[in-house]
Amino acid sequence: MSTNPIFTLRNLTQSYNGRTVLDIDQLDIFQGEILAVVGPSGAGKSTLLRHLNFLERPTLGALSFDTFHLNGEAIPLDLRRKITTVFQNPVLLNRSVADNVAYGLKLRGKNGEQVQRVVTETLDLVGLNSLLDVGAKTLSGGEAQRVALARALVIQPSVLLLDEPTANLDPYNVKLIEQIITQVNRERGTTIVIVTHNVFQARRLAHRTALLLEGRLVEVAETEKFFSNPTDPRTEAFINGEMVY
């Protein structure tokens, strides 16, 4: 993990109908790190991810990604394509597993054997090669989530944003998905931001962990420090499950 920021956020706020739901003074996300974002429901975690994927424009403040400084203009497509999000309940196409995974490559104008090879490699990575020809709509929740992950990974993004990727999954699939996340980060250097309600998952996976409360960052620290020696009493309360919200 480097300490080169791939994202920088400064005084970034998001308001809906005059209500501020995100208010981040300062956050740097480092190239190649796994950053976990934890916090109660409604804290602004998904809103933060939408900003990182440029699906939303800040009401105020500055956001940079790589060499790009968001400034009202359209985000160049090649930069947008470096970032991809996997949501909690992904929607798959009513086609085969392989077609779902190939989709992003085809959008990028790729065809033929090259697509097949990369799709096979990616399905291997998520342990689903045996289901290549199966209709995606027939998959279990855990399998569907792994297809969604494969669909994101096949395009080799620089940044992978994960919004509660294992919520409601069985322990076997949770473990598999956590292994894939770790492997992709190690082997490809992919920067990963994972939003999770599960503090144990944050502790298992992340290099750094951030607590978001009512749209504000309470604490961002190395994961070990975050859990064993938090600076803010609200962090301590949250990780001990004592926070009332």
Ligand X SMILES: Nc1ncnc2c1ncn2[C@@H]1O[C@H](COP(=O)(O)OP(=O)(O)OP(=O)(O)O)[C@@H](O)[C@H]1O
Binding region for ligand X (CB under 6 A): 16, 21, 39, 41-47
Residue sitting closest to Mg ion (CB) = 46
Query: CA angle, corner 42, sides to 37 and 43, nearest 5?
Result: 40
Residue type, 221: A
At closest approach, how far in Å is the CB of 122 from ligand X? 27
| Between 12 and 139, CB nearer to Mg ion | 12
Binding partner of 20, given Mg ion, ligand X, none, CB within 5-8 angstroms per partner class:
none
At closest approach, how far in Å is the CB of 60 from ligand X? 16
| Between 103 and 226, CB nearer to ligand X | 226
Terminal CA-CA length for the chain: 34
Quickly count: other Cβ atoms within 10 Å of residue 190's Cβ: 22
> Among residue numbers 34 through 73, which ones bind Mg ion (CB under 5 A)?
46
| DSSP string across 1-45 | ----EEEEEEEEEEEETTEEEEEEEEEEEETT-EEEEE--TTSSH
At closest approach, how far in Å is the CB of 9 from ligand X? 15
At closest approach, how far in Å is the CB of 160 from ligand X? 17
Q: Shortest CA distance to 208 belongs to which of 187, 188, 185? A: 185
| Between 52 and 181, CB nearer to ligand X | 52
